């Protein structure tokens, strides 16, 4: 039996979503994917995801809305937010709202992998 996904990717851009899924599969990480806020909410309601990777603006600031939803319904979940720019004020605001980390686009896949590993390890430590 396959292990449940460790990560939910929420991304409205099909090309970016496919890139992230391929990369994380090569890292041997099980993922699930959503391309809309309703789809993400449905998946989160059905199963616990230790980490959610979401784009901030897909569309109309839905990433921030999803972050708030996750904080209310699954407070242990670590949320990594991909942002279109590296504004320190924006990152601070998102972290005050409960984001585990923010990563500005464009980013290196190596840096993203580091953040995701940290988030997953933080979850493992919290549950042991």
- What's the whole-number mean pLDDT along residues 18-44? 94
Structure tokens at 116: 């995701």
Q: Spell out the domain ranges in the chain.
A: 7-108
CATH architecture of 7-108: 3-Layer(aba) Sandwich (3.40)
User: Please, what is the Cα angle at 72 between 91 and 19, to 5 degrees?
Assistant: 55
pLDDT in tens, 98-126: 999 999 988 999 999 999 999 999 877 77
Mean pLDDT of the chain: 90
- What's the whole-number mean pLDDT along residues 15-32? 95
Q: Are 104 and 83 in contact (CB under 8 A)?
A: yes
Q: How many helices (H) and strands (E) does the chain have?
A: 5, 5
């Amino acid at each position: 039996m396959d292990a449940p996904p460790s990560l939910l990717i929420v991304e409205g851009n099909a090309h970016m979503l496919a890139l992230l899924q391929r990369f994380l599969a090569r890292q041997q990480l099980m993922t699930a994917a959503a391309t809309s806020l309703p789809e993400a909410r449905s998946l989160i309601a059905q199963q616990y995801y230790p980490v959610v990777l979401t784009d901030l603006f897909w569309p109309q600031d839905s990433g921030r809305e999803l972050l708030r939803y996750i904080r209310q319904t699954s407070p242990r979940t670590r949320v990594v937010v991909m942002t279109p720019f590296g504004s320190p004020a924006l990152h601070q605001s998102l972290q005050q709202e409960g984001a585990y980390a923010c990563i500005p686009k464009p980013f290196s896949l190596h840096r993203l992998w580091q953040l995701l590993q940290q988030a997953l390890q933080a979850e493992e430590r919290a549950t042991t």
